[in-house]
């Protein structure tokens, strides 16, 4: 994992739809539009659990919240 700190975000009760369709995007992402997040990598997506590692340039404060319309999990990493 790139960076000097890693934040791991895990979520339970995360299931594909009844047809087995779920997240089918990239499993490793290296963002080009931010300096603080160096890499994201999906660690797990099995039996109702998903986990992503976020490689940061250094330890940073963060918050996590659930939002509706559309339903989503938001991880906000501080810039300072």
Q: From CA 8, how far away is CA 70, in angstroms rounded?
A: 23
With a cut of 70, say whether residue 18 has pLDDT above it.
no
pLDDT of 44 reads 87
Q: From CA 32, how far away is CA 29, in angstroms rounded?
A: 9
With a cut of 90, say whether residue 23 has pLDDT above it.
no
pLDDT of 16 reads 63
Q: From CA 5, how far away is CA 59, in angstroms rounded?
A: 5
What pTM was computed for the model? Answer: 0.83
Q: From CA 31, how far away is CA 44, in angstroms rounded?
A: 20
| Residues near 8 by beta carbon (within 8 Å), at least 6 away in sequence | 43, 51, 52, 53, 54
At 17, list the tokens: 């739809």
């Amino acid at each position: 994992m790139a960076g000097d700190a890693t934040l791991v975000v895990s979520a339970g009760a995360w299931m594909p739809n009844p047809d087995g369709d779920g997240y089918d995007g990239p499993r490793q992402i290296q963002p080009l539009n931010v300096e603080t997040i160096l890499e994201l990598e999906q660690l797990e997506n099995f039996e109702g659990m998903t986990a992503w590692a976020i490689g940061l340039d250094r330890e940073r404060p963060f918050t996590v919240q659930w939002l509706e319309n559309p339903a989503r999990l938001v991880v906000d990493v501080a810039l300072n």
